[in-house]
Amino acid sequence: MAELSADPARTATAVTNEIDDNMVSVKLVVEGIRPVLFGDKTKAKNGIVDLKLGPSGFSMSAKVESGEGKFTNFKYEVKKLPSEIDIQQSSWKVKKDMISLKLRKKVPGSWVPLLSGGLDQASDSDEDS
């Protein structure tokens, strides 16, 4: 019986774009992932995606079949967004080679000045608490 093997998790690359004062788009590059053609758009045709949205951050892990019983693992985590999001009004879906998120801000306002330091606003001192 063939054994399933997986490499250590790779950190996905994130591309963030502020759509307007209410919404932010985040694209997580997950090479090789493919969406299902019909049905639940949060499902991958060739892997498993686990994405958890919280009011102040999110985490994603994906296991993508890369052929011959081998898998590539991806991960990405934001501990502290620039401000809280409305998780009921936010959404995500699998697209070719990416996970696409639309994050609805709880309080309208621009994140542009804060995004220059990256999407995750957590500092080293935040992790110590």
Percent of the residues in the chain that have a pLDDT greater than 70, as a whole number: 90
What pLDDT does 2 receive?
Answer: 42
What is the reported pLDDT for 116? Answer: 87
Residue 47's domain is classified under what CATH number?
2.60.40.790
Of 25, 23, 5, 21, residue with least CA distance to 100 = 25
Domain count, the chain: 1
Specify if 115 maps to a domain: no
Indicate whether 74 belongs to any domain. Answer: yes
Q: Strands across the sheet with 23-29, in order?
A: 13-18, 23-29, 98-104, 91-95
Total-model pTM:
0.88
pLDDT at 3: 45
Q: pLDDT digit string (tens) for 84-126?
A: 999 999 999 999 999 999 999 999 999 999 998 899 998 866 5
In a domain, 15, yes or no: yes
Query: Phi-psi category of 2—alpha, beta or left, where left has phi over 0 and alpha has psi -120 to 50?
Result: beta
Identify whether 92 is part of a domain.
yes
The range of the structural domain enclosing residue 17 comes to 5-107
Contacts of 78 (CB under 8 A, 6+ apart): 57, 58, 59, 119, 120, 122
Instruction: Check if the beta carbon of residue 25 is closer than 8 Å to that of residue 13.
Output: no
